[in-house]
Each structure stands twice: as C-alpha cells, then as structure tokens.
Structure 1
Amino acid sequence: MHCEHCSSEHPASLPCDQQVTCSGSELASPVPRPVFAGRPPVVDLRGHTLGHYRLTRLLGSGGMGTVYLAEQTLIGARVAVKVLHPHLARDARLRARFYAEARTVNLIGHPNIVRIFDINESEDGLHYFVMEYLEGQPLSRLPRPMEPGLLAWLLAQACDALEAVHRSGVVHRDLKPDNLLMVERPGERPALKVLDFGVAKALRDTGQEQTMAGQVFGTPAYMAPEQWSGQPVDGRSDLYALGVTGYLLLTGQLPYPRGQLAELVLSPEPLPPLRPPHTLVPTVPEALSQTLLRALARNPAERFTTALDFKRALLAAVRSAPASRPPPPRAVQRPRGLVNTPIPAAPPRPEPNDPTPLPTWTARVRRGGGADSVVVHCSELSRGGLFMCCAEPFPPLFTRLEFTLQLGGEEVECVAEVVRHVDSAQAHTWHMYPGVGLQFINPSARLRDMLMRVRPARRPSATPHSILAQEALAHL
C-alpha cells in the first residue's frame, strides 16, 4: 500500500516512523495493520497573532498539531504555541483530545515535564495552547553512540517524570527520542524534559476511546508488544519505549529491524535474543546493558514494576553522573602549521521533522602525529569518504588526516584527504555546522566491509543541509 506518512510503497504491516492509530478492525489478522491516515497538511501561520502571542518561527509538526516559537506581544516573552491542525478541529473527539493534553500536563505538574500556561481558541476557530519555550536538543539529534553516564542521567530524569505521570493514572504512550528534550544551562548538569502528551491515556478513563477495542496509539519503532496487539497498556509500556530509546542512543541502532518489527514482536514463537548493548559498544557497562534489556522484556511482568525501579537500576549501573555543562571541545592540531581548530560539540542538524534522523559517527583524530587525540562528529558517510564537523581555520585542501572511525561499536583506522571546505558563512546560510569533506585514501578491506554493513541506505532529500553536505563530497 502507499504510505502517506513516508511517501513510499510498503505493506501496511511494515512500520514507518510516524505516529499511527489502529482501530480494532485491523487486528483480525495475526499481525495488526496500522492505518496510516496521512501526514496532515501544515498550515503556515508564521506572522499571525493568536490572542497575545505572535507566531514567529515553525518549530515542528506532529500528528495533532504544529508548534511555533512565539512572542508575547505585551512583554516580549518567548513561548511555544501548539496549534491543532485546522482539519482536525472539526472533529469534537480530536478537539477533546487536544485539550486533554493540556489538562494532563497541568494535572501532573512535574519539573521534568514541559509546562503549559494557557489554552484558548482564536476568533477564526484555531485551537491552541501555550507552553514554556525550552532551549535544548531532542535526544534524536544527539550524536550516537551516547556516553553511558550521560544516557543514564537523562533516562533517570525521564523516569522521574514517568513516575509522576503513572502515579497520576496516566500512560504517555508515545515516548521516543523526539519527545525527550535535553536542556543545558551554565553551571548545571544536563536536564531533561518530557514533551508531547497528545496521545496520553488515563488508565481510569471510561470514555468512548476505552470502549473502542483494539485501538492503538504510538510510534511503531518504540511501541511495546502489548501496544502493537491493541491490548490494555500501563506504565510498563512507557518503560519499554524508554528502553528502546536507551538502546538506540547507546548503540546507534534499534533493537529490532524496522521491516520485521511487527512480525517479531507479535509472533507466538520466542523472539531471537537481543544483542546486549555492551557487545555492540565496548564502552557500555554490562550492568547498564542488562538494565535496558530488562526494560525491553516482551512480557510486561518481566520488566521493571515502576519507573522508580528503572531509575535506580540505571544509576546503579554507572559510576557517576555527568559533570555540569561539559567544557568547550578541545582543539585539533592540524598539519601544515594550522593549530587550535575548535570542534563543535553537536553534530549537524538532521532533516526537519524526521523522527529518526540518520545517525552520526564519531572519529578520534590524532593531533600532529602524536598520541593525543580529539573526538569529532562526522556525517554523510559513504564508501568514498565522509563529512567531518569542525570550525575554522580549516586544514588546507589535500591535507592528510589520520583518525580512528567508530562504526557500529567497532573501530577502524583511516587515512583521508581534505577535498572540500564548508565555511561558517556557508554553514549559516544552509543551517548546518561548518566542516570539511574527506576522501578516504587506500581504504582497507576491513573499512570497506564495515561501511557496507553499517552505512544506511541514503535517502533522497531536498533539504539545504543534505544538498550542501553532498556537494561537499562531490569529489568522492
């Protein structure tokens, strides 16, 4: 069938990355078939004023609404405004769900959950609510594999939020890296905020939705087995989704292949054992690996009973919490007399509204032939080379760099030559980080084999970042 979410042809049983809703009629077959209702058309409201809020920038769009950065016209405060998609506003049940999100968040009132200040309807019939605007990065945009201590610290805060959510009789039902935001402030350890309660469910709800047997809400890659099969869910389903998130961030890959997810999860046969994260990435403590595997148990009874139990296991599995805001990245000593080149701490921005962006890779670049090295982020990996993120001054064209590339938990030595510069002006214009395009020099058989196994299928894209990054590698 044609999936309007991802604009591709695939069987309905094969999940794409969009949030889906299933009705009970799709569950008559052994494998339920999510109904892809189609990506809603985004009505661009930038420049409009809703109440006292002028919408200035589009932040993102989801299944229920579009989120804008806005300015409070009286005092100039910045806030985020979520607007219900106009074509959904005609459905009374969907309007009720939209308002229920705001009520749910305010009912819980936890510091690790985004705050909502106001909810209203404009004169022209637009339904919206106003949230705190947070300067941060969703976990989907952070480099992978993530440092284990940072991951445990962030997931522990998510558990704090979930403990409050579940004690309030609510299940989030759509936890994923896009809905978990890391916020950094000077002198403080990274903080995490849980976002988007648009499909949250009250466990004691006796309304119409509960009577619709087999109804499924969520994002396929993160849905627990009982969620896939349309069975009743509780807080342990959220813990499963958090386990998937942790596995992805630690290893750079999802626990199960995307195309086989529904069949594997719902098969009556025993599931093939998951590869523990520490066998994929040697820096992961085995205790943290086992903690995530328990959260990913197929049977809810075998998972952690509460989010608080999950949090305790996460923190016990690592030696210490991450330090307050990491120090500025160290400079890379460049050949041919160019030294002290700063390296950005974050990877390039992913494509907008992509719920599971293509992964980034890390490279350990040796300084001037010495034993000292610095870790940098890379993207646009191909058989010919890669794009390395770094700030000016760049090493001159045709400079040779020696580095250790980390791929899928393995390391391989590489030598590459600088073939293209993307300076700060270009990067600013195209909304990406500056850096250099590198071409591999005499890649080893092991490197070629690893690239064939790890490199994802490239997706066509018209976004400026992808165009420029590909242009930067035009020589490869």
Structure 2
Amino acid sequence: MNSVANHCQSAQMGLLNMKNSAADFQPGVRLSGKWHNGTYPLIRKLGSGAIGTVYLTKRNGVDAALKISEKRTSMTMEMNVLQSLKKVQGHFLGPCLFDTDDYVSPSGKLYTFYVMEYIQGSRLDAYIKAKGSEWLPVLLLGLLDDLDHLHQAGWVFGDLKLDNLVVSENPIRLRWVDVGGTTQTGRAIKEYTEFYDRGHWGMGSRKAEPTYDLFALAMTALEVMNGGRFPKGDTPKAAIKQVLSRTGKLRPILEKALAGKYTDSAAMKQDLVKHLMKKNVPVPPAIPSRVAKSSQRKTGLGECIVLSVYGIACYVLYLLQ
C-alpha cells in the first residue's frame, strides 16, 4: 500500500511538570537523548497514562510519537514488547519503534523515552458514526488477524480498549497504538481498564490468554454499537445481555467471545467471515495474513515494512463501490 510512509513516522515526546509520576513538559522544549544524541521537539501532548506521557514530535522531518517516563523498568518492558512485535515476520503489530534513549533534565532528573510511529486516524466509534455500522465487522476482522499473530507470538494485548485503537487511512484498518498492557501468555494481566476487563464483570480471570483479549474486543464492539459505555449495575450479565439484544446478527459472535467460547482469534475470525458472507459481501476463499513479497513497501526512511491483509482490501473495495 502506498501510504505506509504516512504511517511510519518519527515520535516526539513533550516535557511536562511531574504529575502522577508521569513526565509532563511544556510544548516547545527540545529533548536530547543522552546516548544516541537524537533531538526531538515537543509539539503537543497526545495523551498520558499510568506509565508515561506521549507527545507528538518530529524525526527526520516526519511526525512521530514520543513516550517518556520516570518508570524505567516499565518503559523497558514496553520497548521489549515493541522489539518483539517487530520480529513477527510479515506483519506489523503495533507502532514501529524508531529510537530508545534516556533524557536528563536540567535539574538532573533521569527519564527514559522511546520514539515510535505516529499513527494518524480516527477513533473507532467516530469512524463508524461517520461511515456506517457496516464498517464495524470489516474493521474487527482485520484486528482479529493482528491478534491472531500476537497470540501465536506468545503475547496477549491485555489493555484492549477503544482509546487504544485507531482507524488508519491508506490502508484503512484498525490498529492499536499503545502496548503498555501487553503481557506474556500465562501471566497475570498487568494493565487493564475495568469496562473491558472480564474480571470486573465476573466473567473470568485476569490470566493472559487469547480469550481475555476476545472478551475485551467484544466489549469494545458493544461500546461502539451502544453509543458509549454502560454500567454493570447489580447484575452485570443482565446489563451485558440487554445491550447484546440490540446488536442484530453480530449477537451470536459477540456472545461467544464474551463467554470465552472462542479458544483463539482465528475461530472468531472464521465466524465473522461467515457473517459477512451471509450479507453477500465478496469474501475470498482464504484470507492470508501476508501478501506476496511484491506487495511489500518500505517507508521513505526504510524503517517499517507493511504487509496488508488481503481480506481487508477486498471488503474495503466492496464498500467503496
């Protein structure tokens, strides 16, 4: 796809006042790496969380995202995850990692930061509202393909939620933008958001396994289709059932995901393909996760190879007709 260069961009991190242990700096500051001597202007704050703060920056004249924090150990774990995801051949899982370094403030305080691809796009709920509900299963299908590769590589996303998903353009696909909750399979989920957490709803454990991600994915779909989150109330399962009753033909698939009946992402993806086929959407006989080498495209920086999902292209072309 020709827009890979638009998405593999450098990352910038803002320097802010310390707040809740997250690095918080004023835009306009130029951050210089201690070891690699990279210099990154802090343009604006993109967001912050329990681990650190993310800023828009420039790297080699291209937009990027920079995450910075005092929490060196947690940041190192995130960087290791991004490095591991880069090793999943033929697939891009999460943002491309460009640089890692430390920053020493004028007061002598030590921060750790990394620079990654800045993925521009829309929130899933805003995209569906603008484009129509028929896009939801199409975008979920692509995300399930990514989750399948993540799970096969021995990882669980963990903190899968609406805020961590972006619908990128060219190619149109649903991508995750924060790997802070990614956990090795079999361990306890290290970071989660209650609404998407099956433990919060009394519907399973917080063990890192594919079923945990699929529950969160189903809750994300319910949030989008409901027009927002909903309280669990005194009877959590009844609250979910009420929202499920308004999900139409997607209901059986979402119910199975919530009940943990899909052992892996591939099984849920298969049911979603069948759902789309019933709607007369032209589905190829198989949806390869990788396309031929001739379709690989490198960015202008030569740093991120993106392989598109053939099935997504088919659906998008159909919907754009």
Structure-1-length-normalised TM-score: 0.48
Identify the residue that residue 296 of structure 1 maps to in structure 2.
Answer: 258
Aligned match of 1:161 = 146
Matches within 5 A, 1:47-446: 47=28, 48-50=30-32, 51-72=38-59, 75-84=60-69, 86=70, 88-89=71-72, 93-108=73-88, 110-124=91-105, 125-142=110-127, 144=129, 147-185=132-170, 190-203=172-185, 217-225=191-199, 231-254=206-229, 257-258=230-231, 260=233, 264=235, 274-275=241-242, 277=244, 279-280=245-246, 285-286=248-249, 288-297=250-259, 300=260, 303-318=261-276, 319=279, 320=281, 321-323=315-317
Gaps of 5+ in 2: 1-18, 33-37, 282-314
Q: What one-letter code is carried by the residue in structure 2 that aligns with 1:225?
A: G
Deviation at 1:264, TM superposition (A): 4.2
Per-residue CA deviation, residues 87-121 of structure 1 (Å, 9 max, x unaligned), is x34xxx43443433433433446335321122211
Query: In structure 2, what residue type is equivalent to 1:196?
Result: D
State whether residues 98 and 114 of structure 2, in contact with CA within 8 Å, keep that contact through their aligned partners in structure 1: yes
- Structure 1 pair 63/107, CA: closer, same or farther in 2 (3 Å)? farther
Residue 216 of structure 1 contacts residue 230 of structure 1 at CA under 8 Å; is this kept in 2? no
Amino acid at match of 1:198: G
Maintained 8 Å contact 2:100/2:115: yes
- Counterpart CA distance in 2 for 1:220 and 1:204 is 20
1:146–1:250 Cα contact (<8 Å) kept: no
AA aligned to 1:173 is: G
TM-score normalised to structure 2 length: 0.69
Preserved CA contact (<8 Å) 1:146 1:249: no
CA contact (8 A) 1:105 1:114 kept: no
CA distance in 2: counterparts of 1:70 and 1:246, whole angstroms: 32
Q: Which residue of 1 aligns with 2:300?
A: none
Q: Percent identity?
A: 24
| Partners of 1:95 and 1:322 in 2: CA distance | 36
State the Cα distance separating 1:227 from its structure 2 match: 8.9
Equivalent residue pairs, number: 255
Q: Unpaired runs of 5+ in structure 1? A: 1-37, 328-476
Greater shift, 138-147 or 45-54, is seen at: 138-147
Q: 1:106 to 1:264 in 2, by over 3 A?
A: farther
Structure-1 separation of matches of 2:221 and 2:131: 9
More helix by share: 2
Whole-Å separation in 1 of the counterparts to 2:129 and 2:227 = 5
Cα drift, residue 311 of structure 1? 1.4
- 2:50 aligned partner, one-letter code: G
Residue 333 of structure 1 is matched in structure 2 by none
Q: Could you tell me whether the CA contact under 8 Å between 2:232 and 2:239 is conserved in 1? A: no
1:248-306: per-residue Cα shift (whole Å, max 9, x none)?
2123244xx4253xx645xxxx75771364x43xxx642x2211121111xx3xx2111
Supply the RMSD in Å over aligned alpha carbons: 3.1
